[in-house]
Amino acid sequence: TDYPHAFPKDFLWGGATAANQIEGAFATDGKGLTTAEIVKKAADRQQISMGNVTKDSLREALAEQTVGDYPKRRGIDFYHQYPADIKLFAQMGFKALRISIAWARIFPNGDEKRPNKAGLKFYDNLIAEMKKYNIEPVVTLSHYEMPLGLTLKYNGWASREVVSDFTRFTQTVFERYKDKVKYWITFNEINTGAWGFHETGALEDGLTEQEKLQQRYQALHHQFIASALATTQLHEMEPEDKMGCMLARMQTYPATTDPADVLATQQANDRNLFCTDVQVRGEYPNYMNRFFAEHKIKIKMEPGDQAVLREGKVDYLSFSYYMSTVTAAGENEDLGNFSHGLKNKYLEETPWGWQIDPVGLRISLNELWDRYQVPLFIVENGIGMLEAPDSDGKIHDDYRIDYLREHIEQMQEAIADGVKLLGYLMWGPIDLISFSTSEMSKRYGFIYVDQDDEGKGSLKRTPKDSFYWYQKVIATNGKDL
């Protein structure tokens, strides 16, 4: 039969991480503070609110010079332990590993004219270590971790000034790594910029709801420009390299068959795909004109911006997928991941309320492929759970194996449906600090890390049962699940 029955030979199996959730060493070798390192741990099992950084919380965070209550400053000490960690990834057979380059290691405040050599040295070594095992680096340029200096100086992406700082950063890292890195990603989960600080790096103290939206969408515009300029820059420097955009995919279902609910779902879907529409197609989609008008949002563009967007179209679309959601007419669809929407009675959920939906991944893959016709790349998927070693000292994480197996089966179905998929990078191959709650106890890894929410523990790494399972999956190129 003439449709694909297996994963392609060069399929990129691996895992995904972000600097601020693993590296630690927050002030080592000249690194500046990032927007991630001023966020405290949330109350147990609670989601943070995306806009919860205020002038006061920022002042308090700046006064704290040590790790204090800010777990992302400590990570899992990957900064020092990366050779052993990469070796474990290599033992699983990883073909690719997604890392981010912490902008503030290279430009500590964001606005320096010259890069910090010690920061570059770290990534020289890290990338060399990956290459040693033929692990393909997939590099995110901005993963919720812009230099805090740019928030203090300009209010982050709310200001156009940041574009040139970002361009200087990308120029520096492209020049240095363009021959070693083929797959790049500009902004992690860029669409979450519609939810506030974590993506925009812009404070929202004292703003009305309308003003918040205005500021967020203007910040997104600056990121679109920065992303497009970086894409063009990369293509000029190394035409073989590939640039991707990155979407937090929310597969949304209607609560009922009432056409009003179906329409609300379609609108939620469009809004979820607004950023990728701009980055893949190179222009703003028409439906946003109405959204902007109804919310009194005016995007300030400079002459030439539209040409910049057209020229800087991405080569592939990467995305995270954890769950699906449900909406109905009258619901606020804009909160995505972090509000969960309505519940789907057919699905089970994690202790954090994330509803597990493997078939939703197949639906998403098909919808994204139908809409864009560019290669897709799953660069995050996984399950965060509370875990502790059993009496035998091991971690028996069958639920993780089940979760991943079911999602990989659906990927294979989507490939058979005709979707072009570059790879699968499981989120959090080693336990790390949660993005949305800053908890250590929300564990995703194939590898257990002995550290608790307070930072106590030996940091010892122990493979879980899923480690050996994934090793087999990769060795058989997805045949033995």
Strand partners, 385: 443
Pair of tokens at residue 229: 């300029």
Q: Which is nearer to ligand BG6, 151 or 437 (CB)?
A: 437
Please name which of 478, 477, 449 lies closest in space to residue 462, comparing C-alpha atoms: 449
Euclidean distance between CA atoms 227 and 308, whole angstroms: 10
The residue at minimum Cβ distance from ligand BG6 is 436
Q: Which is nearer to ligand BG6, 44 or 302 (CB)?
A: 44
Sole binder of ligand BG6 in the list 41, 442, 443, 461 (CB under 6 A)? 442
Residue-level length of the chain: 481
Contact window for ligand BG6 (CB under 6 A) among 1-9, 36-44, 129-137, 428-436: 428-436
**Residue 162 half-sphere exposure, CB side, CA atoms within 13 Å?**
31
Is there a catalytic annotation at residue 112?
no
Instruction: Tell me which residues in 12-51 interact with ligand BG6 (CB under 6 A).
Output: 18, 21
Size of the site for ligand BG6 (CB under 6 A): 14
Catalytic residue among 189, 380, 387, 439: 380
Contact window for ligand BG6 (CB under 6 A) among 7-15, 112-120, 259-267, 430-438: 430-438
Instruction: Tell me which residues in 372-411 interact with ligand BG6 (CB under 6 A).
Output: 380, 384
Maximum Cα–Cα distance across the chain: 65
- Is residue 103 within the footprint of ligand BG6 (CB under 6 A)? no
Sole binder of ligand BG6 in the list 224, 274, 377, 435 (CB under 6 A)? 435
Sole binder of ligand BG6 in the list 81, 188, 272, 364 (CB under 6 A)? 188
Q: Which is nearer to ligand BG6, 243 or 264 (CB)?
A: 243
Distance of closest approach, residue 246 Cβ to ligand BG6, in angstroms: 8
Sole binder of ligand BG6 in the list 135, 158, 225, 248 (CB under 6 A)? 248
Q: DSSP code of 254?
A: E
Please name which of 310, 280, 478 lies closest in space to residue 376, comparing C-alpha atoms: 280
- Is residue 436 within the footprint of ligand BG6 (CB under 6 A)? yes
Q: Is 64 exposed, middle or buried (0-12, 13-18, 19+ CB in 10 A)?
A: middle
- Is residue 191 within the footprint of ligand BG6 (CB under 6 A)? no
Kindly provide the b/e burial profile for residues 423-456, where b requires at least 16 CB atoms within 10 angstroms of the residue's own CB: bbbbbbbbbbbbbbbbbbbbbbbbbbbebebeee
- Residues 36, 73: contact at Cβ < 8 Å? no
Sole binder of ligand BG6 in the list 231, 434, 441, 466 (CB under 6 A)? 434
The SS3 assignment for 57 reads: helix
Q: Which is nearer to ligand BG6, 7 or 274 (CB)?
A: 274
Euclidean distance between CA atoms 285 and 293, whole angstroms: 14
Euclidean distance between CA atoms 448 and 109, whole angstroms: 33
Please name which of 155, 162, 60 lies closest in space to residue 110, comparing C-alpha atoms: 162
- Spatial neighbors of 377 by CB under 8 A, at least 6 apart, are 12, 138, 183, 244, 316, 317, 318, 319, 421, 422, 423, 425
> How many separate helices (H) and strands (E) can be counted in the chain?
16, 12
Instruction: Tell me which residues in 289-348 interact with ligand BG6 (CB under 6 A).
Output: 320
Q: Which is nearer to ligand BG6, 226 or 379 (CB)?
A: 379
Contact window for ligand BG6 (CB under 6 A) among 110-118, 304-312, 398-406, 435-443: 435-443
Contact window for ligand BG6 (CB under 6 A) among 168-176, 299-307, 403-411, 436-444: 436-444
Q: Which is nearer to ligand BG6, 42 or 207 (CB)?
A: 42
Token pair 């003439």: residue? 2
Distance of closest approach, residue 44 Cβ to ligand BG6, in angstroms: 13
The SS3 assignment for 67 reads: coil
- Residues carrying an active site annotation: 380
What residues make contact with ligand BG6 under the rule CB under 6 A? 18, 21, 188-189, 248, 320, 380, 384, 427, 434-437, 442
